Structure 1
Amino acid sequence: MNLLLPPDSALFWLSTLLGLPLLLVAIRHAPWQQLLVSQTRQHIMFAAVLALAFLWLLQVDVRGTIAIHPLLMTVTTMVFGWSFALIIGACALVALELYQLPLRSFHMDWDMALAQFELSTVPVDFCLSVLVPASWAWCVLWLVDRWKFKNPFTYFWGVGFFGAMLSCLLIGVSAILLFAITGSEIHLKNTQEHFFVFILMTFPEGFANGLIATVMTVLYPDLVKTYRDDWYLKN
């Protein structure tokens, strides 16, 4: 989800304090060496940033306050791992913000547009649309890796499908908690009243993530960082 109304200072700074340290940790611990030695992986990572930025433009406006859109952060985490998933999501949000900034200038002067950019929705969007689903996917992967039942379908559908479905509900609950803690009444009220939208998004989100995860794992298993042949195909 993305915010359509600029956040107040409490929401902005709390989201920044929550998201920025974890993003720095992701940048610090990301396996950059593996990325630099593989041009194919570099191209896929760049394509993932553009694809997410484009998909996140396909928003459902909820009373001009919040926007619901496809996430695909679960499959991004499955392919790239937690660290790169956060980096890719952050880059996609920045690209989306930079794309929308000139569009705002048609309706307001540049000073107003830049002032709105300074109190950006990016930290809040990062926490809810990137950090929460990526971290949840990583937790589900951790749990699935420790199941005794060894089957590729536990990876495709356990993480990609059902994990992504539950991430939609987790995002809605996290948004309510974040808005309640910071006293963002307008965001809180509209999120509570339209929580059913998060429920409606569960199946399409799960289906899209599960399908892409299955295709990537079957056709390009070497590019899927979190897939382990020695575990999932073990007899």
Structure 2
Amino acid sequence: MAHTETALSVIQILGWLGFGLMCITLWRHLPMARLREDKKVQHLVFGTAASVFVLWLFRAGIHPGLDVHFLWLTALTLILGLRFALLSALIALFGVTLIGKESWAMFGINSLLGVALPILCSYFVYSLSFHKLPRHLMVYVFVCAFLPGALMMALKMFALGGYYFVDGAYRWQVIVDNYLQLIPLMLFPEGMLNGMTMTLLIIYKPTWVYTFYDKYYLQDK
């Protein structure tokens, strides 16, 4: 059964503390001068935040918290880079929480497991690919966008499912039957969404993509 208590659990309090530490770290390393002065960066950060906000409005689920929606966080990471992707996704999370799609008690957990974890892992896959694999257009699309896009969906759902079990919100079988069993259905669409996004952007708007470099992926290929 789900919790009916309004008080924050210990794990939720730790989630809020982790969110606070993440915000302090992000603020210290975020290039604020670039955000203030560069109109293109402003449009990309706030435009993608609005896009993610709208995307996260469409969700399905039976039990509170055990709902599924597209993430699009791998593409967001490739477009904006690590720090601005975190900022953009947190703005979107604040928006969906503000209108009641997520609970404020879960904001810290969602920011860590639903935002920071997929973005950090997506950037790790990109960095590993950039340094260890051939710098080819197809490698960028499939290894940096499609594959991690699908994997981040699974990672996020497993992480949140584990949280709900450890926190005592739901029995494990309820989580498996109503949440984790949906992972195979979400992998390919999420991977396709991220892969198609990056394919279109690097063809038509490569200057919008922070992690894509013509001299590495296109010249002399």
Superposition TM-score, scaled by structure 1 size = 0.81
Identify which of 140, 149, 168 aligns with 1:184.
168
RMSD, matched Cα: 2.4
Whole-angstrom distance in 2 between the partners of 1:198 and 1:215: 26
Structure 2 equivalent of residue 42 of structure 1: 42
Superposition TM-score, scaled by structure 2 size = 0.86
Distance change (3 Å), C-alpha of 1:145 and 1:6: farther
Structure 1 equivalent of residue 31 of structure 2: 31
Q: Deviations 1:82-108 (Å, cap 9, x if unpaired)? A: 11111111111111122238xxxxxxx
Report how many aligned residue pairs link the two structures.
215
The yes-or-no answer on 1:206 pairing with 2:177 is no
Q: Are the equivalent residues in 2 in contact too, given 1:23–1:86 (CA < 8 A)?
A: no
SS of 1:55's equivalent?
Answer: helix
Whole-angstrom distance in 1 between the partners of 2:128 and 2:182: 28
Any stretches of 5+ residues in structure 1 without a counterpart? 102-115
SS of 1:64's equivalent?
Answer: coil
Whole-angstrom distance in 2 between the partners of 1:144 and 1:53: 29
Distance change (3 Å), C-alpha of 1:164 and 1:186: same
Identity of aligned residues (%): 22
Structure 1 equivalent of residue 123 of structure 2: 138
SS of 1:120's equivalent?
Answer: helix
Distance change (3 Å), C-alpha of 1:76 and 1:148: closer
Distance change (3 Å), C-alpha of 1:54 and 1:14: same
Distance change (3 Å), C-alpha of 1:67 and 1:6: farther
Identify which of 200, 209, 213 aligns with 1:215.
200
Q: Deviations 1:164-183 (Å, cap 9, x if unpaired)? A: 011111112222333344x3
CA displacement at 1:59 relative to structure 2: 0.7
The yes-or-no answer on 1:128 pairing with 2:123 is no
Which amino acid letter does the alignment assign opposite residue 173 of structure 1? F
Whole-angstrom distance in 2 between the partners of 1:133 and 1:6: 28
Whole-angstrom distance in 1 between the partners of 2:20 and 2:130: 28
Which amino acid letter does the alignment assign opposite residue 90 of structure 1? L
Whole-angstrom distance in 1 between the partners of 2:6 and 2:91: 20
Q: Are the equivalent residues in 2 in contact too, given 1:66–1:187 (CA < 8 A)?
A: no
CA displacement at 1:154 relative to structure 2: 1.0
SS of 1:146's equivalent?
Answer: helix
Structure 1 equivalent of residue 10 of structure 2: 10
TM alignment of 1:151-162, pairs within 5 A: 151-162=136-147
Any stretches of 5+ residues in structure 2 without a counterpart? none
SS of 2:61's equivalent?
Answer: strand
CA displacement at 1:7 relative to structure 2: 8.2
Q: Deviations 1:33-76 (Å, cap 9, x if unpaired)? A: 33333213212221211111111110111323421111111111
Structure 1 equivalent of residue 93 of structure 2: 93
Structure 2 equivalent of residue 195 of structure 1: 180
